Structure 1
Amino acid sequence: MASTCYFLSFPSLSKPLPPSLLPLKFFTARPCKTQSTNSSSSATTAGVQDDPKTNSLPMSIDNLHRFFDLNVGKWHGSFHQFDANGKLMQKVSTRLSVSSYGDDELISLIQTLYIKQRPTSTSISEYDEEPEWAEYKIKETNMFTVDKYQQIGFFPNERAFALRYQTAGMLETVLRQGVLGEDDTGEETPRNLKLPSRLPSIVCENCLYSQEKDRRARAFHIMDPKGILEMLLIFLEDRGDRVLSHPSLENNIDSVNRILPFLGQWKGHSITKRSGVYGSTIAEADTVALLEMDDKGQLIQVITSTSDQHDVKTNVHWTGNAADNLVTFDGGYQITLLPGGMYMGCPSDIAKSVAVSKSFHLEFCWLESPGKRQRLVRTYDVEGLAVSSTYFSETKLIAQRKTSCDFL
């Protein structure tokens, strides 16, 4: 293992960017506030209203413990970097060691990331007993950071969470130091690696856990200073002490076929919670989503959501076009299709939403097995604050064959 140990120093995300670069504000270190969505691109949380009486809920130690238990362990996996069009640019092996210490309000989570290093120019592979792993300490998570800075949307029963991590520093270290390796010293940009902006406007993590094994996928949206999608990152990890092989996203699926598993009608249930590991459930709804392609190759998406509490039905109708791995809808929303039954969605230009005082959302979908998928949607207000998260569990409906009786 590499002897060098790095302690990540996270740049402040509370400093606003120069107006000439970005009309968005950086996240501020203050309690989250919520507001109702007012754009079609945020239809997944339509009908959700803010209740000021629940803005200051007492902290739930039980939820914090459950969040820590969900993360604790030794995770073996791989890190994947994609461009905005879904092209795989970089893949490296990773390990993550997560442990907790302390009790009650003083409990903290500590994470150490290990990145497999590329061979140096002086190494002779046949004589290397084992690969080198660089070690990076990630800032602790505790009662203070989880509420003030990370803005977690946590679903303990569904085993899913979304958060605004202190990730800008990790991007700097993982991509610029961990992935580059010694052979790339002096190079501005190594092959197949795109470096993120030093001041990304948004870094959002959505994490979904497998329903079949002790595996999880952590997906990162990286938005550049102008509010445009810069890159997508995926950590695919298995938990266990002895993992013989690292899980990885295969890139051997033809681009045209990536969208096929998502076509059809999906029926499920959604749960929306306000930001904060202690956040209450705002709404639940039954959902039906249809994605189909017409004879001209145009995509049509129809989403119907019926609230359990208020019996409010919301209908959203989008049309769009697919080019390679990118699906662009007329409303200014885009979906990047990834290997492994995944896609990630975001506005084509967040600045345009902010300019007209509209909220926006970022989405991660994982179709782990045919006919079953999970989605996690993170909704932001016009100031860039994460105000709510919505978890979807959906099953694909099998189309029934038409018989002669159907035409009578």
Structure 2
Amino acid sequence: MKSQWECFLQNLGVWEGSFTNFSPQGTLLNDTPSRLSLEGLNNNQTVRLTLSRPERDDMIREFSSVGGGLLFFEKGSFSEGLIQLGPFSEFGAELAFVHENCRLRLVQLFDQTGNLSKLTLIREHLAGTQTAERPPFQINDLLGEWQGQAVTIYRDLRTDTYSTTLKLQLDDPGRLIQSTSFGGRTITSTATIKGSIILFDQDPQKQVQVLLLPDGASATSPLKVQLRQPLFLEVGWLIQPNLRQRMIRSYNEKGEWVSLTLVTEEKV
């Protein structure tokens, strides 16, 4: 098992791409080119991050350790965000995948009233490599049965590994029926589909939205985060038509961040 620092080092390199901002309804607001360098110094004892975007000062950070609200998986995928949901404060997290020469990162932000306020999709590839543009993401790309393996890392770095099954189908009226199975449990829920928005609206007090975004990305989040209720943020990436990854950042009813899960699943 790699240390968290060794997992972080999987991200070293120069990453070229863009930051694309979306409204909570999935409307594209703006798109900004980016270049992010992660450079190992002192025999990789320190990592210097330099983010360059047009018409902005470079952002520079140096790391000699990782922790706090940041956790990594073996191949470099990670999530960083707040460890506590608080009253009258902004809330959010970044969930990020690393696959071969590409990274896909997504930031979900909520305002001081708890409402989903902005999404930023960051698509990057290693400088000097090619990347293929994926076709527009449609609900039909997700339909069917997906079988996978999940790894959950807890705050104290304990890990669990288990199998998962995800079944997605449409009923006659056109609602989405989702069944998720893991650890001997099966959870079934239904959603309304409107364009690129999938809305799980069975409980008006706990509506959860999935936004289908460019390049096979999807963002799952409550429309409103509420105190004293458990919640999760999820990002998916359809890497190939039959290969998908999902990352889930989970919070308990006290608003405390408790775990991070990475699911790698294939369509059967």
TM-score band by shorter chain is 0.7 to 0.9
Letter of the 2:10 counterpart: L
Cα pair distance change 1:153/1:64, threshold 3 Å? closer
In the TM superposition, what whole-angstrom CA distance separates every residue of 1:161-181 from its partner, at most 9, and x where no partner exists?
Answer: 111279xxxxxxxxxxxxxxx
Identity %: 26
Local SS of the residue matching 1:260: helix
Q: Is 2:243 the counterpart of 1:305? A: no
In the TM superposition, what whole-angstrom CA distance separates every residue of 1:50-69 from its partner, at most 9, and x where no partner exists?
Answer: xxxxxxxxxx9x62431332
Letter of the 1:68 counterpart: F
Q: 1:248: how far off?
A: 8.9
In the TM superposition, what whole-angstrom CA distance separates every residue of 1:247-269 from its partner, at most 9, and x where no partner exists?
Answer: 6977x83xxx6211011111111
115, 139, 147: which is aligned to 2:53? 115
**Residues 82 and 91 of structure 2 are in contact (CA less than 8 Å); yes or no, is this contact kept in structure 1?**
no
Moved over 4 A (4+): 247-250
Q: Is 2:78 the counterpart of 1:161? A: yes
Q: Is 2:103 the counterpart of 1:216? A: yes
Q: 1:140: how far off?
A: 2.5
Q: Which has the higher strand share?
A: 2
Bigger RCO (CA 8 Å, 6+ sep): 1
Q: Is 2:204 the counterpart of 1:317? A: no
Local SS of the residue matching 2:215: coil
> Considering only aligned residues, what root-mean-square deviation do their CA atoms show, in Å?
2.5
Q: 1:200: how far off?
A: 6.0
**Residues 258 and 338 of structure 1 are in contact (CA less than 8 Å); yes or no, is this contact kept in structure 2?**
no
The residue aligned with 1:344 is 219
* Superposed counterparts of 1:170-189, under 5 Å: none
**Residues 293 and 300 of structure 1 are in contact (CA less than 8 Å); yes or no, is this contact kept in structure 2?**
yes
| Structure 2 alignment gaps of length 5 or more | none
The residue aligned with 1:396 is 267
Q: Is 2:112 the counterpart of 1:225? A: yes
The residue aligned with 1:207 is 96
Q: 1:223: how far off?
A: 1.1
The residue aligned with 1:334 is 209
* Superposed counterparts of 1:9-408, under 5 Å: 63-102=3-42, 107-117=45-55, 134-143=56-65, 146-148=66-68, 151-156=69-74, 158-164=75-81, 201-210=90-99, 213-240=100-127, 242=128, 253=136, 258-275=138-155, 279-281=157-159, 283-306=160-183, 313-329=184-200, 330-331=202-203, 332-351=207-226, 354=227, 357-397=228-268
Q: Which has the higher helix share?
A: 1
Q: Given the two structures, how large is their TM-score scaled by the length of structure 1?
A: 0.59
Q: Given the two structures, how large is their TM-score scaled by the length of structure 2?
A: 0.88
Q: 1:314: how far off?
A: 0.9
Number of residue-to-residue matches in the alignment: 260
